[in-house]
A and B are shown apart, each in its own frame.
Chain A
């Protein structure tokens, strides 16, 4: 099967402090991948650096066999819910429409086709009845659904999602995972940063175990083993982060 995402030796330093070391990974098309690891393992940083939202200090990223820049419109990014100001004066519909901005470029305005796409996306996540609401009046789960609708409206082939389950109710969580599985059925590739190890083994087909380094990547069956989890969460890499701290102080 073709490769949706490939990184080689991807390294990120933040304030001179290395947070990700030499990540080599190749994600096949049509897989639903959970990125798990302890706090501070660099999970969000990994997808941000893949998206080029944070600059990487080494290595490269390829998306469907081409550098990211050439395939930007095939990638959808769903940031953490807390990363935006929910008091911002926009409606649910406005946010869903933002998903179409990437394809429109800088100057074209969204037309009928874009509005239809946004509507369909909202329909899919069950938020169409709210499309005229201000986003601040929504519950956490509803806000997350809006973010997902925006991603659907992007109509990408590869999705990178940062903690879409954080702070949502159980019903929304179930709905989201249903949606993710459906997206996989349609051949989309989805990478999800996830913090709950228990549900991770049920939700995803593949897991990416991360702790500043890539610990393991593969099918849940192969990777979800006590040894590898111990390696990911067991804190044997404390020296690595200690030394990184010292390097940052210089």
Chain B
């Protein structure tokens, strides 16, 4: 058979090929599972295949992968069908229906197995995974199934994606939603069964969820998510397989699951856009920017109070305005200096705004006063209520919103407290 050419002869080679197939199959379907919020359906189906595996082991003494595969798929589909039937005909909610099928099928498998202990001696491999026990015949089956999976997903990628995003809309497009859903459950069961021998019934749902969730944190593109989640699946499979092989009697499934979890933990912290670390850094940057802008505003207000009569502002005045020590004011100014918003006087005791500093300071003051005006005029705030809100909003008003505000307020010149609203687009600096 042609496929056999692809199957390596060494044990390690086989294990790696198995891991690749496992990662590809479950990574592919896992992306849909995570996006459709069906993680727990995956869990239910993966437990529900157990009686099928046991039946396969009992009725195929020569342990034909095809028989086991078909029995497992049949059991998984029966489970999925039962969940849907239960939800359609009773008041039971989806979580309960999933739990019932998961528990009942799994228990039935365990009971049946315990009655036929001799013929099902290898069942532990299917429960907790044993990548080392996968032989050439198994690999052939896995390759066929994964190949079929990839082809169907490739052909139906668009309709499946639309349906995952918005089932009602895809019905409106005239897609055969019932048929597509049936295909989806079929594929899901397939991918569960492909991963079965490597990861085992108990934890195979982790391979559907964890790699895909990691990929989800790394990209906003569906195509990329598919590739990444497959890659993570393969990586976890290989690492898990190798590590468990080095420890005597350690089942593969839990180790693969932990490897996948490790990948998730890394992306959880380090993902550039959606990772926790990136979010913390962004928040820090934003806080520092707000801080800088508040210092600039304070300098502007000191200037305004003195009628913009001279260019320099003493550090001691700034410290007083910001209700801080002079040391602190010096630190604030160092940050502004780094961004070229100010220049230091020769003796280092006073600062003056540069052109870009003036511009930013005027923008902030304008935003603040515009927002105060908007809140009092349009949103019926009392004018002594608006300052605090404006303190926050001034930093996040975009250029478009500012334009809209100016238009709505009829290009105002004074804020509700009677202070002039600066116009950075007209004058470079208010210094007289």
Contacts and interface: CB of A to CB of B under 8 A. Distances in A.
A243 B398 CA distance: 9
Given A87-B91, A136-B91, A243 B397 contact: yes
Interface in B358-411: 374, 378-381, 385, 389, 392-393, 396-398, 401, 404-405, 408
A188 B385 CA distance: 33
B378 A237 contact: yes
A239 B283 CA distance: 24
B286 interface: yes
B286 A213 contact: no
Interface string A219-250: 00000000000000000110110110011001
Interface string B273-302: 000000000010010000000000000000
Contacts of B381: 21-22, 213
A247 B393 CA distance: 8
A237 B380 CA distance: 11
A244 to B, nearest CB: 9
B290 to A, nearest CB: 10
B401 A213 contact: no
Contact of B401 (A9, A22, A242): A242
A249 B338 CA distance: 28
A51 B161 CA distance: 42
A21 B379 contact: yes
A142 B385 CA distance: 45
Contact of B385 (A22, A87, A136, A215): A22
Given A22-B381, A136-B91, A247 B404 contact: no
B396 A237 contact: no
A214 interface: yes
A86 B396 CA distance: 44
Given A136-B91, A239-B401, A239-B408, A246 B380 contact: no
Contacts of A215: 380
Contacts of A246: 396, 398
Given A213-B379, A215-B380, A247 B401 contact: no
Nearest to B379: A213
B380 A239 contact: no
B286 A240 contact: no
What's the interface size class on B, roughly?
10 to 19
Contact of A243 (B283, B286, B378, B393): B393
Contacts of A242: 401
Interface string B150-167: 000000000000000000
Contacts of B283: 250
Nearest to B381: A22
Contacts of B396: 243, 246-247, 250
B389 to A, nearest CB: 8
A240 B379 contact: yes
Contact of A247 (B379, B392, B405): B392
A37 to B, nearest CB: 13
A247 B397 CA distance: 9
Query: Considering residues A213, A214, A243, A250, which has the most beta carbons from chain B within 10 angstroms of its beta carbon?
Result: A243
A215 B385 CA distance: 15
A222 to B, nearest CB: 15
Contacts of A237: 378-379
A239 B374 contact: yes
A250 B289 CA distance: 13
A243 B91 CA distance: 43
A243 to B, nearest CB: 6
Contact of B404 (A22, A212, A239): A239
B91 A236 contact: no
A237 B385 CA distance: 17
A9 B384 CA distance: 12
Contacts of B286: 250
Nearest to A214: B380
A213 B385 CA distance: 13
A249 to B, nearest CB: 9
Contacts of A239: 374, 378, 401, 404-405, 408
Nearest to A88: B91
A246 B402 CA distance: 14
26 contacts: A9-B385, A21-B379, A21-B381, A21-B389, A87-B91, A212-B379, A213-B380, A213-B381, A214-B380, A215-B380, A236-B378, A237-B378, A237-B379, A239-B374, A239-B378, A239-B401, A239-B404, A239-B405, A240-B374, A240-B379, A243-B397, A243-B401, A246-B398, A247-B392, A247-B393, A250-B283
Given A239-B405, A247-B396, 12 more contacts: A9-B385, A21-B381, A87-B91, A236-B408, A239-B374, A239-B404, A240-B379, A243-B393, A243-B397, A243-B401, A250-B283, A250-B396
Interface of A: 9, 21-22, 87, 136, 212-215, 236-237, 239-240, 242-243, 246-247, 250
